[in-house]
Chain A
Amino acid sequence: MSNSLARQRSYWNKVRFVGIVIFAIAILLPLAYVILVSLTPDTEVGGGAILPTHIAWNNYVMMWSTVHLARDIVNSVIIAGLTGVCSTIVALGAAYVVSRFRFKGRKPFMFSLISMQTIPQVMMLLPLFVIIVIIQNVLNVHLVGQYYTIIITYMTFALPFACWLLLSYMANIPVELEEAAQMDGCTRAQVVYHVVLPLILPGLVVTFVFSFLLGWSDVLFASVLTTPSTQTVAVGLQAYMSSSDAGGAVYWGQLMAASLTSGVPIVVIFLFFQKYIIGGLANGAVKG
């Protein structure tokens, strides 16, 4: 019996090993090819050989001027960062009230939050654009391409998501702690600041990170609402590539280098906070 179990176990271990290797190859091969092309001199991309004759580190230097990478990354950081901050703060208040109080309109509010997440983004873009044009005409100001316009429109998708995420974190915080603080005479604002805030901090971080990632990855809104001086890195790369559709020359090596440069920080942030997410959940469980 135990012998058959051992044999069975070693068989499934082998199966697992082979499976993981297949997955690893499937995941890494495309990325390895991108890294390879990012190090290939422009003259050799598209040539007969896969491996370049020499490694063109130069691509990682030239890319900064070819696609305005620095400017675009700064724009992405500002826009995605402020989208994350604003969404998280506004959502915190909403999530607190909705999770702690029963009031008229609570259920409709929750229903609309979840419905908003299922609305196709492309549907919101056009009317948002129309509204922005109206405000521009009425107030005689310029809104398209401004940071605050883009950030507010990004909250169309980031805010319902942030509310929903914080609601689930809020549910894990025991109400008794707040009641105790109130017995001691804390005002509502003091309760939120001294009791809720420290406990919800991991949730806030996760909400910020996710809203940031949503903002960083958006192409749809940014492609309509940004101007060249405020365009995000996603739009910058897309615009550079579409010049190849128009017949322009594309430096594939530099494009791949730039693409990796805009993706790797996100991967690092995510892998870093992945532990934070799990740790935060564990802490919450211990404290609760």
Chain B
Amino acid sequence: MENADVTKLAPAKSRSNERHVRNRPPYWMVIPAVVLLILIVVAPFLVSIYTSFTKLDQYTIANWTHAPFVGLKNYISAFRQGNAIGASALQSLWVSVAFSVLTTVCITPIGIVAALLVNKPFRGRALVRALFLLPYVMPIFVNAITWRLLFMNGWGLIDRVLSALHLASKNTYWLIGPHSFWAMVIADVWSSWPFIYLMVLAGLQGIPGDLYESAHMDGASPTRSFFSITLPMLRPILGLALLLSTLNHFNNFTLPFIMFGTPPSPQADVLPLNVYVTSFQTFNFGLGAAMSLITLVLMLIPAFFYIRMLRLGEDVS
């Protein structure tokens, strides 16, 4: 009603006004997000950089601006072997790299096979698809508790099965010592393969069916079709999936934290967990900040490729 009145009273003026309003972004809508992000992401980020150059601990935290400035000392001690109660940052770094690369390598073929299994319609497909998502949908802390139980020394299902098959001693310590790395990898592979599965499933939707038909006409076997059509067509989405998987696994804190507790054995002491223990259990905040900045610098390598793959801002809506 009100709008109709406005157009009746001053049509020409309202028209030019309208143009003006349409072209000026309503900044008030974006400001809450910008302010919040500056407050909870950018400011902490800057604090983190400053903290990494100071000797901040539980005694100086109350008066943090007066924490002694130590320059690069934290960065140097992060790489010295055996400084904290757990592994050194350098050792944790290798654990994290090995963990994220190994799990990504393991889940990729599993995810592709799973997606191929349910790609073509069949009776009960919806149910199978829901089932395949189950490990991924479960909160990661539930998965971690599940695998902690399965790897329990002596009476966990894994020790029972392995000893029944005479493959390993019933007292294989999976949650402490050198085996803990493998326990972590197995639990993570079980929890995260549906990520690749989902990405590949989305990628398979984009492959036109007549490609397969003509390949079949030319006498190509399904195996040949897979390697000559499916895999090349999946390459872009698979590249993105591998990158994201590596990033996510590198930052995985919850799984080892719940499976092994703190401090974990050095073989499973991934970098995020090490930073956590250094910061919040030995209260070496400065060293923790330096270690997390080292983590960030390393994350920038895959992140750089990730952002480039997204071709940000080139889309026109």
Contact = CB atoms under 8 A, between A and B. Distances in A.
B53 interface: no
Nearest to B295: A120
B157 to A, nearest CB: 5
Given A118-B303, A156-B40, A237-B145, A96 B133 contact: no
A34 interface: yes
Contact of A30 (B47, B120, B150): B150
A106 B141 CA distance: 37
B203 interface: no
B117 A30 contact: no
Interface in A106-122: 106-107, 109-112, 114-116, 118-122
B122 interface: yes
A262 to B, nearest CB: 7
Contacts of A46: 152, 154-155
Interface in A14-34: 16, 19-20, 23-24, 26-31, 33-34
A37 B149 contact: yes
A18 to B, nearest CB: 10
B285 A120 contact: no
Interface string A146-158: 0000001101100
Given A12-B222, A220-B276, A115 B315 contact: no
Contacts of B295: 120, 122-123
Main secondary structure of the interface of B (DSSP, over half): helix
Nearest to A269: B137
A285 interface: no
Given A220-B254, A260-B142, A93 B33 contact: yes
Contacts, number: 267
Main secondary structure of the interface of A (DSSP, over half): helix
A121 B253 contact: yes
Contacts of A188: 21, 26
A26 B113 CA distance: 14
Interface string A41-74: 0000111001000000000000000000000000
Nearest to B276: A122
B145 A20 contact: no
Among the interface residues B22, B140, B154, B262, which one has the most CB atoms of the partner chain A within 10 A? B22
A206 interface: no
A119 B313 CA distance: 20
A108 to B, nearest CB: 9
Interface in A235-288: 237-238, 241-242, 245, 252, 255-256, 259-260, 262-263, 266-267, 270-271, 274
Interface of B: 3-4, 6-7, 14, 18, 21-22, 25-30, 32-34, 36-37, 40-41, 43-48, 51, 56, 61-62, 64, 113-114, 117-118, 120, 122, 128, 130-135, 137-142, 145-150, 152, 154-155, 157, 160, 190, 216, 222, 247, 250-251, 253-254, 257-258, 261-262, 272, 275-276, 279-280, 285, 288-289, 292-293, 295-296, 299-300, 302-303, 306-307, 310, 312-313, 315, 317
What are the 4 A-B residue pairs with the smallest beta carbon separation, nearest first?
A185-B3, A93-B29, A127-B44, A94-B33
Given A99-B317, A111-B307, A186-B3, 9 more contacts: A5-B216, A34-B149, A94-B30, A94-B34, A110-B312, A115-B303, A120-B296, A127-B43, A152-B40
